[in-house]
Amino acid sequence: MSFPIQRRRFVGQTLTAAAGLVAAGSHSPLAAAGNRSGEFTDRIRKAVKYHMVTGKLSALDKLKMLQDLGFDGVEPRAQLKPSDAAKVKELAKASETTGLPIHGVVNSSNPDIAGAIDQAKMFGANSVLHVVRYDRKIGYLQNYKETQDIILRAIGHAEKHEIQILIENVWASYLIEPLSMVRFIDELDSPWVQVYFDVGNVVRWGWPQHWIEVLGKRVAKLDIKEYDLNVAMNEGMRKGFGMPLGEGSVAWDKVRAELLKIDYRGWATAEVPGGDRKRLADIAAQMDRVLDL
């Protein structure tokens, strides 16, 4: 099935390609040392969610550790309360000092997308992750319109600051197959609204390689996690996320093949249980294997 190439799609593809060129021109210490030689070396930049780094460490020490482990960046949750200002400033300073990029902020389903855009801009990030909510107390079509309206109100602000609003597929029982996601995104008709594709989240309903095939260039960033259908069916749906990367139901070779077809170049951020230095080193090694970094 083909989809019309509109001006917004052309601009969106240009933005994604530009981001990929920036990614290819920047290397972590491990990459600079020549320790990576995979198919996606210099195509994918490896990151973790900031909250995955545990322990009583300063923001500076956390980012230094991630840098030492070969991560290329980090993605924190948006912190928009006035009481969070000091923590936000500390993290921004740590990023500036280490040179480890904050590539985006996670705003979940908070309707204050403009506030998250402002914080992303302050960090030097280029995206806000937005989860489209599903309010079961109202009709489906009403929810569809209202969630699009929330995003539409923020598009002008996103364009002004050159920050993409990236819609993530989650377990909200809403937009749970790729054609629905494509329609939702395309109706917003803006290059500043694309997809933050979560590889593991879709396995409950389908296969990630099929999503990538349909979403195509709309995929601007990746969340990386594993999912095991056998564990889910026998121990509970949430338990399916417990397997290490590469040891579940995700066919990573097929995922990589589809990413190559769309010439994906950008961020891949682990969203799995975090921990100390040893745990984070394990995550880095797992990402290198499944993404061929």
Q: Check which CATH number belongs to the domain holding 133 and give it.
A: 3.20.20.150
Which of 23-37, 210-224, 245-259 has the lowest average pLDDT?
A: 23-37
**pLDDT given at position 10:** 42
Please check whether residue 1 lies inside any domain of the structure: no
Mean of pLDDT values over 194-210: 97
Beta bridge partners of 212: none
Mean of pLDDT values over 27-49: 73
Please check whether residue 250 lies inside any domain of the structure: yes
For 163-195, the pLDDT digits (tens) are: 999 999 999 989 999 999 999 999 999 999 999
Please check whether residue 2 lies inside any domain of the structure: no
| 96 has pLDDT over 60 | yes
Beta bridge partners of 74: 48, 102
Please check whether residue 116 lies inside any domain of the structure: yes
**Domains held by the chain: number:** 1
Single-letter residue type at 214: V
**pLDDT given at position 36:** 58
Please state, rounded to an integer, the average pLDDT across all residues of the chain: 91
Banded model confidence at residue 159, pLDDT cuts 50, 70, 90: very high
Please check whether residue 180 lies inside any domain of the structure: yes
| 86 has pLDDT over 70 | yes
Percent of the chain beyond pLDDT 90?
87
| 4 has pLDDT over 50 | no
Banded model confidence at residue 23, pLDDT cuts 50, 70, 90: very low
Beta bridge partners of 275: 53
Please check whether residue 110 lies inside any domain of the structure: yes
For 229-259, the pLDDT digits (tens) are: 999 999 999 999 999 999 999 999 999 999 9
Structural domain containing residue 230: 7-291
| 136 has pLDDT over 50 | yes
**pLDDT given at position 1:** 42
| 58 has pLDDT over 90 | yes
**pLDDT given at position 12:** 52
Instruction: Determine contact, residues 240/228, Cβ cutoff 8 Å.
Output: yes
Please check whether residue 176 lies inside any domain of the structure: yes
- Distances, alpha carbon 98 to alpha carbons 30, 146, 160, in Å: 15, 41, 28
Beta bridge partners of 53: 275
Give the Cα separation of 121 and 287 in Å (integer): 28
| 24 has pLDDT over 80 | no
User: Between vectors from CA 23 to CA 10 and to CA 289, what angle results, nearest 5°?
Assistant: 110
Percent of the chain beyond pLDDT 70?
88
Give the pTM: 0.88
Please check whether residue 59 lies inside any domain of the structure: yes
Give the Cα separation of 97 and 99 in Å (integer): 6
Banded model confidence at residue 37, pLDDT cuts 50, 70, 90: confident
Mean of pLDDT values over 198-221: 97
